[in-house]
Amino acid sequence: MKLLYISILESVYLIFMFHMFKTSIDFNMLASPKGWWLGHLIGDEKGLRICPFGRVAIFALIFILLFRNFGLVISETFMNIFLGITFALSLMNMNAVVYLLPIFIVEYALKNKYGRVK
Residue 91 near residue 24 (C-beta atoms within 8 A): no
Per-residue pLDDT band at 83 (split at 50, 70, 90):
very high
Pairwise CA distance, residues 100 & 16, whole Å: 12
* Mean pLDDT to the nearest integer, 12-29: 91
Instruction: Write out pLDDT tens, residues 23-81.
Output: 888 888 776 667 778 777 777 889 888 889 999 999 999 999 998 888 778 888 888 89
Tally of domains in the chain: 1
DSSP code at position 58: H
Domain that holds residue 90: 2-114
pLDDT number for residue 114? 64
